[in-house]
Structure 1
């Protein structure tokens, strides 16, 4: 007893410490906190493992992308390039589209070379005598040759319509003068098929070629075309993939010069609208197809159009203007395509479903097919070139109202290229016009390329000027929202072969040295300010 009392006096706090410790251990065992500690440690370990696993996975993916999977090398677009042929003739044919699926637009053109020593492939290798006609594709970025091959002895007509189906190649159809029709895969330059002439030696093939929904079961749209012999129009259907003729029919009689368009009504029915003299004629694709093949229920008819078209003559109701029709054109409207009629005395827009006139504009000398653009943001306009003589007035017309939004007169020259528009990032269009600096056309007349943007209605930019004979002209969209223009120049007569040239120049580079042409008296901005604004302009692809 004495020992315990003595120990208590020496260590007075020892028993007090022990009691709370026992109490703490007892309490801990009761609330189970000691049992949770091992579980908590296991969670930490799992999270750590998952973290390092994800980190390793991410690093591995980065390694694969950076060092193993090669990056697609995009060609650097040159500011300008030029391809020359010393002794050649060329054709007014220059479609621009991406033919090898690398997002770079490519250029296709035809030429006949009289200097056989410069050819990569001889005419004889493909069964032709020299000189023969070559089809060529080059990249717009640097002018590099994609492919080149002889395709015909002499070409009468050529067309490269839009893609014919999901699995079909980009095709160009060529009509040879020696009575054959062939299809060329424009992505690689190979001839897909070549068929002998079936149209009759005195027949004329009408343009454009049309594509209709697949009727042969190969998921490729079919080729639909017309020929004319006298007053008789014959309809043909061909398989675009094989060239086999599905059928033909001669049951349309129209006098004089004939033109046509494919029109889709608001119900989705296909109709061919012909124009001859001052009259319009409508034929449903259903009717033509069933008469050609004898098969039923492939296409549909529009009830309103079926009632509107005369069952005997196929004539459509007359429009307000009675002038001779020169061109027909589909124009996008609010609920579907409307129809623009270019006549000898006026231009008239018809509602594409009801076929009633929306507006009429007095313009008696529109000698070429109009083009579309945007003068106001997202507001469609039509560009008319009015005038058959030296003076040619450019009219930009609002599609909704028919009001003239802008006009300017330029001096025309022989073979003046058509106007071209390209969409800009500010929801307008940039417009490109050609004009001559001389009032009287001569061999060496200077030909000027002008650029216009609606932001500055009193200004034209003179981008460049040349004296060569212009065969074809177009504007294309470059990478990084830039634009370039392409020129095909040279002789077109086989009697006088000479220097032929294909060239590309970037628009923004030409703007630096452009001449500002003021159309009005007021000059609120300096020339350099105007050029700086045009230099910063960006472009966009159409939707």
Structure 2
């Protein structure tokens, strides 16, 4: 039998032809429509191409204008070395750094005593009510050593502290507070040198600053107004002891002060309530309150010798407390004040410094002994184990050691002393030179002798002058005493330049690297600001 479709085609042959004809006509119409739309699509494609290249040209033109035609803001060229001198002057053991002129380079604050200011500023002692000579505070550009401002501040300074926070309505974010020996108590704007407040006083030299409070002769003064708050004996100690603001694990703030061979503690919450008579949101730590004697404010802690230094130490579970006495260094648990480790030291007269020996090891650096018997010791802060030690004889006038973090999660350390032993009659500042050494833990058998200074060094500091750019040493030299005025100099030396011209001192025989290879390696260190 025939298929139904074939049968249909035989019965209606014309119908089948008509269908094919209709299909061909439809296909032909589609082709004609396609041919008609082709020129339109081609034109649209060309328009898109032109628009693309036009926008690309505009973008490139904008980049060219911004990069080459519109000038970039001038960035001051930071000089690696500069020096300024004052004739017939004396100076003080004080240096501070702050970005005063907002050029992203740290500037330098220091003090000197002279009859008049420099030639650039016509401000005399008499203009501020002082007899000549008097003490000037000066701010110097860290970029080129030019004087930003200077002014008479006291007849003779007993104490100075900078970077003291100020209230928002004072017009200054920070201030330098100066206490004079004869009747001056003044705060000046760190950025302009203008007076923020000034009060008469007779503090003398028995004073200390506990920012933002000022503790003077048993009184407490506001660091923002200079006004007395509270009553005499508020801290129950004299003003000669150093103080430390400590935060317990409960988040309570306490002021700790050495009291002979014990510690005295005061709750900041309690001090505030006593001074103002108002409640506040600060906390007390019940555990510490139980340890504190309510009458003497002494903690239940006794040192084996007189306490010389108190330092905060970061820990995994909160802050710890490093106590340096005349006989030992002790790391105390930050909550229970129980000893974690004890290192017996015969004679630690300098304040210890901190730095990273390895990325995972925080070290405390102590100077044990004096003169030809001095040793530099690196102690692991977690265990008290000696990580590195080196005999480094020192001179009586050697400045404090310093450290600066590096980008490899370690620290560079700076010491003053004499690597090579000298005769006993040369162990005086006037007979021998002060030598500055640098140590980096990646080369533990090497010291770099960066500089030799024959002048009397009054103050020394290592600072990061530009973030991720360069670090520099600041040296303040001048007469040894106030009774013999002479040349006072403030100098900046870029650390990288000092390294490139340094002398390599090998502490052990051998070593695969040459002296020049060591200099090149350490000259490429990048420095970071302290956390």
- Give the TM-score normalised by the residue count of structure 1: 0.83
Are residues 1:477 and 2:478 paired?
A: no
Residue 327 of structure 1: SS of its match in structure 2? strand
Q: Which residue of 2 aligns with 1:83?
A: 84
Q: Which residue of 2 aligns with 1:299?
A: 282
Residue 94 of structure 2: SS of its match in structure 1? coil
Report if the CA contact (8 A) 1:343-1:364 is conserved. no
> What is the deviation of 1:393?
1.3
Q: Which residue of 2 aligns with 1:10?
A: none
Instruction: Give the superposed CA RMSD.
Output: 3.1
Kindly tell me: are residues 80 and 301 of structure 1, through their superposed partners in 2, closer, same or farther at Cα, counting changes over 3 Å?
A: same
1:54-133 matched pairs, under 5 angstroms: 54-55=55-56, 58=59, 61-62=62-63, 65-66=66-67, 70-114=71-115, 118=119, 120-123=121-124, 124-133=126-135
> What is the deviation of 1:45?
8.6
Report if the CA contact (8 A) 1:249-1:291 is conserved. no
Task: Spell out, residue by residue over 1:113-171, the C-alpha distance to the aligned partner (whole angstroms, 9 max, x if none).
Answer: 24668463231333333222211111222212222222222211100135457784231
Are residues 1:531 and 2:485 paired?
A: no
> What is the deviation of 1:204?
5.3
Q: Which residue of 2 aligns with 1:174?
A: 178
Q: Which residue of 2 aligns with 1:397?
A: 379
1:436-475 matched pairs, under 5 angstroms: 436=418, 438=422, 439-440=424-425, 441-442=427-428, 443-475=430-462
Report if the CA contact (8 A) 1:344-1:365 is conserved. yes
> What is the deviation of 1:256?
9.7
| The one of 196, 200, 223 aligned to 1:196 | 200
> What is the deviation of 1:357?
1.1
Are residues 1:227 and 2:205 paired?
A: no
Residue 88 of structure 2: SS of its match in structure 1? strand
Kindly tell me: are residues 205 and 290 of structure 1, through their superposed partners in 2, closer, same or farther at Cα, counting changes over 3 Å?
A: farther
> What is the deviation of 1:374?
1.1
| The one of 364, 372, 375 aligned to 1:382 | 364
Residue 316 of structure 1: SS of its match in structure 2? strand
Q: Which residue of 1 aligns with 2:221?
A: 236
> What is the deviation of 1:328?
0.7
Q: Which residue of 1 aligns with 2:350?
A: 368
Kindly tell me: are residues 99 and 335 of structure 1, through their superposed partners in 2, closer, same or farther at Cα, counting changes over 3 Å?
A: farther
> What is the deviation of 1:95?
0.8
Q: Which residue of 1 aligns with 2:483?
A: 495
Task: Spell out, residue by residue over 1:299-355, the C-alpha distance to the aligned partner (whole angstroms, 9 max, x if none).
Answer: 221232223323333221225x42211111111111322111000110001111222
Q: Which residue of 2 aligns with 1:4?
A: none
* Distance across 1 between alignment mates of 2:409 and 2:180: 42
> What is the deviation of 1:176?
1.6
Report if the CA contact (8 A) 1:87-1:115 is conserved. no
Report if the CA contact (8 A) 1:255-1:276 is conserved. no
| The one of 411, 416, 420 aligned to 1:434 | 416
Kindly tell me: are residues 542 and 307 of structure 1, through their superposed partners in 2, closer, same or farther at Cα, counting changes over 3 Å?
A: same
| The one of 262, 271, 274 aligned to 1:288 | 271
> What is the deviation of 1:205?
4.7
Residue 520 of structure 2: SS of its match in structure 1? helix
Kindly tell me: are residues 311 and 414 of structure 1, through their superposed partners in 2, closer, same or farther at Cα, counting changes over 3 Å?
A: same
Report if the CA contact (8 A) 2:78-2:144 is conserved. yes
1:5-44 matched pairs, under 5 angstroms: 22-27=25-30
* Distance across 2 between alignment mates of 1:191 and 1:505: 31
Q: Which residue of 2 aligns with 1:158?
A: 160
1:263-274 matched pairs, under 5 angstroms: 263-274=246-257
* Distance across 2 between alignment mates of 1:380 and 1:96: 25
Residue 496 of structure 2: SS of its match in structure 1? helix
> What is the deviation of 1:227?
2.1
Are residues 1:514 and 2:515 paired?
A: no
* Distance across 1 between alignment mates of 2:153 and 2:62: 48
Gaps (5+ residues) in structure 2? 1-20
Q: Which residue of 2 aligns with 1:217?
A: none
1:249-260 matched pairs, under 5 angstroms: 250-254=233-237, 258-260=241-243
After superposing the two structures, state which structure 1 stretch, 410-419 or 160-169, moved more: 160-169
Gaps (5+ residues) in structure 1? 1-17, 212-223
> What is the deviation of 1:21?
8.5
* Distance across 1 between alignment mates of 2:238 and 2:152: 37
* Distance across 2 between alignment mates of 1:237 and 1:372: 31
Residue 93 of structure 1: SS of its match in structure 2? strand
Kindly tell me: are residues 53 and 163 of structure 1, through their superposed partners in 2, closer, same or farther at Cα, counting changes over 3 Å?
A: farther
Kindly tell me: are residues 42 and 417 of structure 1, through their superposed partners in 2, closer, same or farther at Cα, counting changes over 3 Å?
A: same
Aligned length: 502
